[in-house]
Structure 1
Amino acid sequence: MFDADVAVVGLGAWGSCALWTLARRGVRAVGIERFTPGHSMGSSGGTSRMFRTACLEHPGLVPLARRSLELWHELQSSAGQPLIDSSGGLLIGPRDGHIIAGTLAASRVHDLPVQMWDSGDLRNRMPVHAGLPDHHIGVWEQGAGLIRPERAIAAAVRIAEAAGARVFTDTKVTGVELVTDGAVVSTPVRDLRVRQVVVTAGGWLGSLVDELPVETVRMPMTWFEPMADRERFVLDRLPVFMRQLDDGVCVWGHGILPWNNAHAGLVKLGLEDSDGRFPVIDPEAFDRSVSPEDWDLLVGRLRTAVPGVREVPARVSVCMYTRTPDNQFLLGRPRRDPRLVIAGGCNNHGFKHATGVGEAVADLVMGRPPSYDLAFCDPDRFG
């Protein structure tokens, strides 16, 4: 006797969208979430996440991003509330740096409608970036923008429930056992027997599925108050950006959000995890307190990269995400096991793809051929 055809373990960005897709396709599905959907304990807190189709991380992600954008708008329509803000996005750096080179490579392969700006154009269009060197350029993507992560996750779970999915919240999964005809998902309350299990547990993925090439890292998130001229830092004048400096360090962020949120009036800024900057942690026992070590390196770069904000952040929090050796996702059936699908290893560039990943997971569960080639995300690619 099966409790469901499939269980989705972890209802963060990817899991909530997988459950949403499965439920609206009529699959008998159950979702299990350790906390409350849209919580701040994993990888999806912090009020905003960048969306772009010019995927500098791998050209093969562009079709997934395009499909994800279509699905974000579908989810937004079903939710009846704003989830995505298409205010544009900017990639900045030296032409031969990984930010610009990767962005232009993806744009060429998929003929993306991006604009290239020289340093003079950038200074005129975006005065906050006026201090950039002459040899830096910018790539503007008009369709880029921001997603509201907590609201989007909560909406996906709510709509999945309305379509027939069962959801268990505040329920910790203590084990996933693959048995002869399916899987048993263990919780402190009860065990659930299902034909297939999808594990989308974010930072806890490695503790539930053995032998995965994934590690969980701690990342600070910081918000800064403008020192003066607040209007200079509103989102329309400082849209979401990634900027590589000459020493290779990459700063990202966006201006003051136009909607009510927990960080009203503040500029969100942070650093990319280059060269393994962020420490590996145990997701069950990592320190969520903050100290100047969490922002000192960033603040030192902001004096030239984004001048005009105070040198001590007004708000700081920490999140965690999973990292793989090649910075690409883990998406598929480990060892081709028909009972198990995993989706993880977001590498801090996965939220934008959540709706598309959810659809890809549902396709795997249902035995449908993939809509695009995601072989570079095969969880068995490392041997």
Structure 2
Amino acid sequence: MPVLDAEFAVVGLGAMGSHALWRLASRGKEVLGFEQFQPGHPFGSTHGKTRLFRTLCLEHPGLVPMARRSIDLWRELEAETDTSIVSLCGLLNMGATESGVIRGVQAAAAAHGQAVRRLTAAEIRKEFPQHGRVGDTDVAILDPIAGVARPEAAVLAATSAAAAAGARLFTQTGVIDVTVVDQGVRIRTAARDFLVAQAIVTPGPWLSHLMPGLPMLPTRTPLTWFTPSHDPGTFSVDRFPAFIRDLGEGNRIWGHGSDTDHDVKVGPEDDPHYSLVNPDLVDRSISTDDYALVSRLVSEFLPDLDPQPSGVAACMITRTPDHQFLLGRPYGDPRLLLGGGDSGHAFKHAPGLGEVLAQLACGEEPFTDIDFMDPNRFR
């Protein structure tokens, strides 16, 4: 009988993987972590200094418990590692009364009994004058348990805490293949093979390489930053909080104010220039096409920002057909777990998703319903 190298392995230490590694190690489990780059690298989906954090999840009411558990776990991780990860500044969900953003946020709040503040168009114009073209039928719902999260800091803190708890990390170690065998799961690397009882596969945009057959679309999505054309203080994060705005034109913009180490961040929900990519071959050079749409939207809806970006960086998301995550056991195999299909809104849930993966691996009941994330739902 071959000897196991460990009970568990986590393949890919980005948002989901780093937190799954931490949650397993915190339980005293013997776990290996594999990362083809270094934790906190800028080559996948978990970089760019900031991400939105919010609890009123318009994408699905079932994500509210995931977000709530995530902020609790991040506070625990912050205390454990002396790291700042999440700053709560609130988040404005804006749009016409019947827009997708407003309806989605209202449904999430109602499903979980979360009190919210609703602003009229006049109140938006008075309290948040940075937003232009606010129509008379526009409203906003303020999510108070929301703000800005730090992706690189979170990944580094989670992997550091996992290592301190006994996890063994193999960085700069690409995984070539993950194969179910009679004894468990074989993890193949260029240096050697590893044998574990269970593998959690979370390599972000590279998931389709290791788990072919799942409907995942790695997509190049540049990140963009902007500076005010005058009076920088008006766009600091304490005066210009995070926001998601439904434009009523089949698109949305999102963003947040500046801080000491970054400018104002603004991005579109979608852009015709976004392209499907092989994550190994993604173009990291920047052209004017990468920010033409967002610059136009900034000019129209945030007119006191200079529409010429102060910074642009290549990034990727991995979309699924219904824009919900893939989380669970593919094909029902008790030796495999996967987490992926971020669809552009997973990072805020990273600790909660990592906790669920650890719970499933250890035979525990998940803390919340995850049926809508079942990776087998498209079969």
TM-score (norm 2): 0.97
For residues 294-353 of structure 1, the C-alpha deviation after alignment (integer angstroms, 9 at most, x for no partner) is 111111111221111112111100111211000000000011101100000010000000
What amino acid is the match of 1:108? A
What is aligned with 2:50? 48
Q: Any idea what SS the aligned residue of 1:348 has?
A: coil
**1:182-201 superposed matches below 5 A:** 182-201=184-203
For residues 69-103 of structure 1, the C-alpha deviation after alignment (integer angstroms, 9 at most, x for no partner) is 11111111111121110111111111111111111
For residue 122 of structure 1, the aligned residue among 115, 121, 124 is 124
Give the conservation status (yes or no) of the 8 Å contact 2:20–2:351: yes
What is aligned with 1:147? 149
User: Is residue 281 of structure 2 the alignment partner of residue 279 of structure 1?
Assistant: no
For residue 299 of structure 1, the aligned residue among 282, 289, 295 is 295
What is aligned with 1:218? 220
Give the conservation status (yes or no) of the 8 Å contact 1:122–1:130: no
For residue 327 of structure 2, the aligned residue among 307, 327, 331 is 331
What is aligned with 1:85? 87
User: How big is the shift at 1:224?
Assistant: 1.0
User: Is residue 359 of structure 2 the alignment partner of residue 363 of structure 1?
Assistant: yes
Give the conservation status (yes or no) of the 8 Å contact 2:95–2:102: yes
What is aligned with 1:310? 306
For residue 111 of structure 1, the aligned residue among 110, 113, 130 is 113
Give the conservation status (yes or no) of the 8 Å contact 1:145–1:240: yes
User: How big is the shift at 1:106?
Assistant: 0.7
CA distance in 1, matches of 2:258, 2:368: 36
For residues 87-137 of structure 1, the C-alpha deviation after alignment (integer angstroms, 9 at most, x for no partner) is 111111111111111111111111112111011111111110143111111
Q: Any idea what SS the aligned residue of 2:327 has?
A: strand
Cα root mean square deviation, aligned: 1.1
What amino acid is the match of 2:352? G
What amino acid is the match of 2:315? C
Deviates more, 1:296-305 or 1:29-38: 296-305
What amino acid is the match of 1:43? S
Q: Any idea what SS the aligned residue of 1:2 has?
A: coil
Runs of 4+ in 1 over 2 A off after TM superposition: none
TM-score (norm 1): 0.96
Give the conservation status (yes or no) of the 8 Å contact 2:273–2:290: no
What amino acid is the match of 1:366? C
CA distance in 1, matches of 2:317, 2:6: 29
What amino acid is the match of 1:311? P
User: Is residue 194 of structure 2 the alignment partner of residue 203 of structure 1?
Assistant: no
For residues 149-195 of structure 1, the C-alpha deviation after alignment (integer angstroms, 9 at most, x for no partner) is 10110010001000000001111111111111211111111111111
User: Is residue 337 of structure 2 the alignment partner of residue 341 of structure 1?
Assistant: yes
CA distance in 1, matches of 2:237, 2:37: 31
CA distance in 1, matches of 2:152, 2:115: 29
Give the conservation status (yes or no) of the 8 Å contact 1:329–1:344: yes
User: Is residue 266 of structure 2 the alignment partner of residue 269 of structure 1?
Assistant: yes
For residue 353 of structure 1, the aligned residue among 334, 349, 353 is 349
Give the conservation status (yes or no) of the 8 Å contact 2:178–2:186: yes
For residues 45-90 of structure 1, the C-alpha deviation after alignment (integer angstroms, 9 at most, x for no partner) is 0101111110000011111111111111111111112111011111
Q: Any idea what SS the aligned residue of 1:143 has?
A: coil
User: How big is the shift at 1:277?
Assistant: 6.1
CA distance in 2, matches of 1:81, 1:381: 37
What amino acid is the match of 1:189? A
Q: Any idea what SS the aligned residue of 1:356 has?
A: helix
Q: Identical aligned pairs, as a percentage?
A: 45
What is aligned with 2:140? 138
Query: What is the total number of aligned residue pairs between the two structures?
Result: 377
Give the conservation status (yes or no) of the 8 Å contact 2:205–2:279: yes
Give the conservation status (yes or no) of the 8 Å contact 2:132–2:303: no
What is aligned with 1:321? 317
CA distance in 1, matches of 2:358, 2:52: 24
Give the conservation status (yes or no) of the 8 Å contact 2:132–2:300: no
What is aligned with 1:3? 5
CA distance in 2, matches of 1:45, 1:178: 31
User: How big is the shift at 1:142?
Assistant: 1.3
CA distance in 1, matches of 2:327, 2:4: 25
User: How big is the shift at 1:7?
Assistant: 0.5
What amino acid is the match of 1:155? A
What is aligned with 1:66? 68
User: How big is the shift at 1:227?
Assistant: 1.0
Give the conservation status (yes or no) of the 8 Å contact 1:54–1:103: yes
CA distance in 1, matches of 2:286, 2:252: 21
Q: Any idea what SS the aligned residue of 1:174 has?
A: strand
CA distance in 1, matches of 2:155, 2:310: 26
Give the conservation status (yes or no) of the 8 Å contact 1:51–1:146: yes
What amino acid is the match of 2:274? F
